[in-house]
Amino acid sequence: MSHYRALTIAGSDSGGGAGIQADLKTFTTLGVYGLSVITSITAQNTQGVFGIYDVPIEGVEKQIDVVLSDIGTDAIKIGMLSSSQIVQVVSEKLKKYNHIPIVVDPVMVAKGGSPLLTDEAKEEIKNSLFPLATVITPNIPEAEVLTGLRIQSIEDMKRAAEQLLLYGPQSVIIKGGHLENEAVDLFYDGEAWSLFPAKRIQTKNTHGTGCTFSSAIAAELAKGKELKTAIEIAKNYIQAAIEEADQLAIGSGHGPTNHFAYMRRKGLEVWN
């Protein structure tokens, strides 16, 4: 029996809530075999980021080469790429895989405010990586930095999405986790707008929501789902993970979301 495969190219979060660790948990609980290329190691817990150690460029290149030449993948998710050199090498390598769906999460800042990429790398992401993307998934602060617009409403999100599409991705989803009332995400592919609304959950345990959401989209694309269906499933997955986040109670700061919740709701008992 063969399995669908998804590759994450991202940073490691030692606290397990975001980055590579969140991506692999998401792939696994959506039934997809997860592969990983680590770009950077963060010393991180629920209280914040205490150190960032980039993997040497040759190490990033080698991981991509050996994984793709032997195992291959059905979808790729890109998360934290902390320097412009890492963005360059990843973009260069992925140019020859443009038949595979690519989800780009332009990770910039961790919840506690620690920067996860340099200013130089922001330009490189727009110019080199966005043109390769099936979909890009900025949150509101990221979309503001990338466009220079102030985003406070759905109309502002629409303007930002139009501007971001000019960099060449096939589509854009601006995540609304930072809006005040509703957690509504806006999708745009140059033809039509779609809204993915959800009730905003009051919890401090939202560490890794963006990583989890983008890797759930990648997992569903790996299975061959159409993009909007993949986003709908990812939205249900993250909603369940946030709704049941407080049951995990990991760490003393901003805890992770609950990657078991979606599986449990599908009737699979994961612990006793």
Ligand X SMILES: Cc1ncc(COP(=O)(O)OP(=O)(O)O)c(N)n1
- Name the β-bridge partners of 42: 13, 52
Is 208 noted as a catalytic residue in this protein? yes
Catalytic residue among 137, 206, 212, 257: 206
Report 102-161 residues binding ligand ADP (CB under 6 A). Answer: 139
Catalytic residue among 25, 77, 126, 175: 175
Site string for ligand ADP, 233-262 (x = CB under 6 A): --x--x---x--------------------
Identity of residue 214: S
Is 206 noted as a catalytic residue in this protein? yes
DSSP per-residue codes, 87-105: HHHHHHHHGGGTTS-EEE-
Instruction: Work out what residue 177 binds among ligand X, ligand ADP, none; the CB cut-off runs from 5 to 8 Å by kind.
Output: ligand ADP
Residues ≥6 apart with Cβ < 8 Å to 229: 220
Residues ≥6 apart with Cβ < 8 Å to 244: 258, 260, 261, 264
Instruction: Work out what residue 207 binds among ligand ADP, ligand X, none; the CB cut-off runs from 5 to 8 Å by kind.
Output: ligand X
Alpha-carbon Rg for the chain, nearest whole angstrom, is 17
The answer to the question of residue 225 lying near ligand ADP (CB under 6 A) is no
Residue in 175, 225, 254, 259 binding ligand ADP, rule: CB under 6 A = 175
Q: Which tokens belong to 20?
A: 């590579």
Instruction: Work out what residue 8 binds among ligand X, ligand ADP, none; the CB cut-off runs from 5 to 8 Å by kind.
Output: none
Q: Is 95 exposed, middle or buried (0-12, 13-18, 19+ CB in 10 A)?
A: exposed
Catalytic residue among 42, 46, 209, 212: 209
Helix (H, G, I), strand (E, B) or coil at 196: strand
Count of alpha carbons within 13 Å of 20, Cβ hemisphere only?
17
Helix (H, G, I), strand (E, B) or coil at 248: coil
Q: Is 191 exposed, middle or buried (0-12, 13-18, 19+ CB in 10 A)?
A: exposed
User: Where do contacts with ligand X occur on this chain (CB under 6 A)?
Assistant: 10-13, 18-19, 42, 44, 79-80, 107, 110-111, 116, 207-211
Residue in 177, 194, 228, 232 binding ligand ADP, rule: CB under 6 A = 177
Is 209 noted as a catalytic residue in this protein? yes
Nearer to ligand X, 114 or 194 (CB): 114
CB of 111 to ligand X, least distance (A): 4
Helix (H, G, I), strand (E, B) or coil at 65: helix
Nearer to ligand ADP, 199 or 266 (CB): 199
Is 175 noted as a catalytic residue in this protein? yes
Nearer to ligand ADP, 93 or 177 (CB): 177
- As annotated, the active-site residues are 175, 206, 208-211
For ligand ADP, the binding residues (CB under 6 A) are: 139, 175-178, 183, 185, 198, 200-201, 206, 209-210, 213, 235, 238, 242
